[in-house]
């Protein structure tokens, strides 16, 4: 009976009166905002998925592409109460049929979906300030946990893929974790704590004015678990990995572009850095740092591809690499970890190793006794306490002197993994043989491995401490000299 205009006006009036007397206010969060997808809608859906999975009776269930987890959702027109800091809010999932479209540039779904958030008027400012931010954060955590890790590598010859992206990706399914990694448990704990401190340290980095990034240098002989450590780090933090092949990068600007296209919460890896870029050019023949060391010197003298005798034909300079790790561009994006690996730390330029670039130097050593116990547990399923005391003692005696890598030891264990006793016996024989060979050839010079390793680490630290300040003063002197020369000219 009512004409549509009158009907519309009376509904509007009714709502106004209703809202005046109601103690609630409502917010509509639609799936599509105009023509764009509403980020908040997706975030709310993910956020609610954790609470509805426990309380809901009828749920929608989805699994996104590249995701290893299921997402629970509120069924159509269902509602749920959520509590945030003692405040109750009501979420309703509203689904209505969309009117048939006459014409549209972009076809929209037949259904119009959205969430309605009902909160008490008195809680409005509190909820709007912190609850929605909290939802966005939780949603991105859930998304990251559900999503498969990705392993990116830079395209050959710097070419772009069909989407104009310089990185190609594959799902990252490396099973290495800190549990499977054989290394000294104290060292392992220290690394894990450092990683957690970094991942939870947003406010600290903000407060101290530091870019939210951290550098790790993994060094040690081949087969000691450097790559496994990177995989364990990625699995531990849930980060993607960008495996940067430096020999495929032509120049510094290409390097910078690659950096700009990496995402937050990622680990950028350069493996065997000493083979990717020639870092020895800065040193004199006797190993001391050249007096003429300066950025311009790096630029002109140090070229990539010379480290392992291969000519890569690319023009990345050390200066470019230093800028990559801690220049202004390294701060585009946040929460990034740089990991460099090398078998020859002595070949690396001290400038690359200083704190701020490589904050933590991790020495991946030959297999020690605590690491051996982890391998025995992982490969044979036997705890150290299950083995006879005498066998353990024998193993402990030879393992340090044998200087075998965890990779070598795991090969011996894999062969006999079904027969525990035979595996332990063969392992002992192999370790003994190696230890004898080492002693005969005088590799150890009367010291045990741990002492040698500690000494190596100590030497490296001393070299760094003495070189860093010297270098900076040298660089300053050089700059001054250059300026004076320019003035005279």
Instruction: State the nearest-atom distance from the C-beta of 413 to ligand ATP, in Å.
Output: 10
| 224 counts as binding ligand ATP under rule CB under 6 A | yes
Which two structure tokens, joined as six digits, stand for 101?
């479209």
Identify which of 113, 114, 57 has the alpha carbon closest to the alpha carbon of residue 80. 57
Q: Phi first, then psi: give them for residue 274, nearest 5 degrees.
A: -70, -20
* Beta strands at 213-219 and 336-342: parallel, antiparallel or unpaired: parallel
Element (H, E) at 116: strand 111-120
Instruction: State the nearest-atom distance from the C-beta of 463 to ligand ATP, in Å.
Output: 22
Instruction: State the nearest-atom distance from the C-beta of 377 to ligand ATP, in Å.
Output: 11
| 410 counts as binding ligand ATP under rule CB under 6 A | yes
Label residue 397 exposed, middle or buried (CB < 10 Å: 0-12, 13-18, 19+): middle
Task: State the chain's maximal CA–CA distance in angstroms.
Answer: 108
Label residue 293 exposed, middle or buried (CB < 10 Å: 0-12, 13-18, 19+): buried
Q: Where are the beta strands (DSSP E) in 162-232?
A: 167-172, 213-219
| 407 counts as binding ligand ATP under rule CB under 6 A | yes
| 49 counts as binding ligand ATP under rule CB under 6 A | no
Which two structure tokens, joined as six digits, stand for 281?
């050019």
User: Shortest Cβ contact with ligand ATP: which residue?
Assistant: 225
Instruction: State the nearest-atom distance from the C-beta of 397 to ligand ATP, in Å.
Output: 21
Count the alpha carbons within 13 Å of 448 in the hemisphere toward its beta carbon. Answer: 9
Judged by CB under 6 A, the residue of 73, 114, 166, 223 near ligand ATP is: 223
Identify which of 418, 399, 396 has the alpha carbon closest to the alpha carbon of residue 409. 399
When the beta carbons of 17 and 414 are compared against ligand ATP, the nearer one is 414
- Restricted to residues 166-185, the positions that interact with ligand ATP (CB under 6 A) are 180-183
| 350 counts as binding ligand ATP under rule CB under 6 A | no
| 225 counts as binding ligand ATP under rule CB under 6 A | yes
Q: How many CB atoms lie within 10 A of CB 171?
A: 11
Instruction: State the nearest-atom distance from the C-beta of 234 to ligand ATP, in Å.
Output: 13
Instruction: State the nearest-atom distance from the C-beta of 182 to ligand ATP, in Å.
Output: 4
Instruction: State the nearest-atom distance from the C-beta of 362 to ligand ATP, in Å.
Output: 11
Judged by CB under 6 A, the residue of 227, 266, 278, 368 near ligand ATP is: 227
When the beta carbons of 72 and 216 are compared against ligand ATP, the nearer one is 216
Query: Which of 192-200, 405-413, 433-441, 481-489 is the region at the interface with ligand ATP (rule: CB under 6 A)?
Result: 405-413
When the beta carbons of 158 and 221 are compared against ligand ATP, the nearer one is 221
| 336 counts as binding ligand ATP under rule CB under 6 A | no
| 399 counts as binding ligand ATP under rule CB under 6 A | no
| 365 counts as binding ligand ATP under rule CB under 6 A | no
Residues in the chain: 489
Binding mask 301-320 for ligand ATP (x = CB under 6 A): --------------------
Binding mask 240-279 for ligand ATP (x = CB under 6 A): ----------------------------------------
Q: How many chain residues are in contact with ligand ATP, going by CB under 6 A?
A: 16
* Dist CA 354 CA 467 (whole Å): 10
Which two structure tokens, joined as six digits, stand for 410?
């795991």
Query: Which of 208-216, 223-231, 380-388, 440-448 is the region at the interface with ligand ATP (rule: CB under 6 A)?
Result: 223-231
> b/e map of 314-326 (b: 16 or more CB within 10 Å)?
bbbbbbbbbbbbb
* Dist CA 419 CA 441 (whole Å): 33
| 226 counts as binding ligand ATP under rule CB under 6 A | yes
Binding mask 428-467 for ligand ATP (x = CB under 6 A): ----------------------------------------
| 75 counts as binding ligand ATP under rule CB under 6 A | no
* Dist CA 356 CA 213 (whole Å): 9
Which two structure tokens, joined as six digits, stand for 471?
């270098």
**Residues 6 or more apart from 39 whose CB is under 8 A from it?**
136
Q: How far is CA 423 from CA 84, 239, 394, 412, 418, in A?
A: 55, 36, 15, 7, 8
Which two structure tokens, joined as six digits, stand for 304?
């990539």
- The residue written with tokens 């045990």 in the block is 448
Judged by CB under 6 A, the residue of 49, 71, 154, 228 near ligand ATP is: 228
Judged by CB under 6 A, the residue of 305, 307, 333, 406 near ligand ATP is: 406
Binding footprint of ligand ATP on the chain (CB under 6 A)? 180-183, 222-228, 343, 364, 406-407, 410
């Amino acid at each position: 009976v009512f004409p549509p205009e009158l009907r519309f006006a009376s509904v509007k009036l009714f709502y106004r009166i209703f809202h005046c007397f109601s103690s609630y206010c409502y917010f509509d969060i639609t799936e599509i905002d105009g023509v764009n997808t509403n980020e908040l809608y997706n975030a709310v859906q993910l956020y609610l998925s954790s609470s509805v999975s426990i309380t809901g009776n009828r749920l929608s269930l989805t699994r996104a592409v590249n995701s290893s987890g299921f997402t629970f959702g509120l069924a159509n027109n269902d509602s749920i109460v959520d509590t945030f800091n003692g405040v109750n809010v009501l979420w309703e999932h509203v689904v209505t049929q969309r009117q048939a479209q006459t014409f549209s540039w972009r076809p929209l779904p037949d259904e119009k979906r959205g969430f309605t958030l009902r909160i008490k008027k008195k809680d409005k400012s509190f909820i709007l300030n912190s609850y929605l931010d909290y939802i966005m954060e939780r949603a991105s955590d859930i998304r990251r946990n559900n999503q498969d890790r990705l392993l990116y590598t830079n395209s050959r010859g710097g070419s772009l893929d069909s989407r104009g992206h310089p990185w190609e990706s594959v799902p990252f399914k490396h099973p290495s974790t800190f549990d499977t990694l054989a290394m000294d448990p104290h060292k392992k704990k220290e690394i894990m704590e450092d990683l957690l401190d970094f991942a939870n340290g947003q406010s600290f980095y903000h407060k101290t004015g530091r870019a939210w990034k951290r550098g790790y240098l993994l060094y040690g002989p081949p087969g000691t678990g450097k790559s496994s450590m990177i995989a364990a780090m990625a699995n531990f933090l849930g980060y993607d990995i960008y495996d940067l092949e430096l020999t495929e990068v032509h120049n510094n600007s290409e390097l910078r572009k690659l950096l700009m296209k990496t995402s937050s919460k990622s680990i950028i890896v350069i493996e065997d850095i000493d083979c990717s870029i020639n870092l020895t050019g800065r040193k004199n023949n006797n190993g001391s740092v050249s007096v003429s060391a300066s950025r311009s010197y790096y630029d002109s003298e140090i070229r990539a591809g010379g480290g392992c005798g291969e000519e890569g034909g690319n023009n990345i300079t050390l200066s470019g690499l230093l800028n990559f790790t801690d220049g202004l561009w390294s701060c585009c994006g946040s929460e990034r970890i740089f990991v460099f690996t090398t078998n020859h730390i002595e070949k690396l330029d001290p400038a690359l190793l200083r704190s701020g670039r490589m904050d933590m130097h991790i020495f991946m050593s030959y297999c020690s006794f605590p690491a051996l116990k982890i391998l025995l547990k992982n490969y044979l399923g036997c705890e150290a306490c299950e083995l006879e005391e005498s066998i353990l003692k024998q193993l402990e005696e030879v393992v340090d002197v044998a200087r075998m890598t965890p990779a070598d030891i795991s090969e011996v264990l894999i062969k006999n993994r079904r027969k525990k006793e035979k595996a332990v016996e063969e392992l002992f024989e192999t370790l003994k043989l190696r230890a004898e060979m080492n002693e005969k050839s005088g590799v150890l010079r009367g010291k045990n491995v741990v002492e040698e390793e500690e000494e190596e680490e100590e030497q490296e630290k001393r070299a760094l401490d003495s070189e860093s300040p010297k270098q900076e003063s040298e660089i300053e002197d050089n700059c001054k000299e250059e300026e004076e020369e320019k003035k005279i000219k």
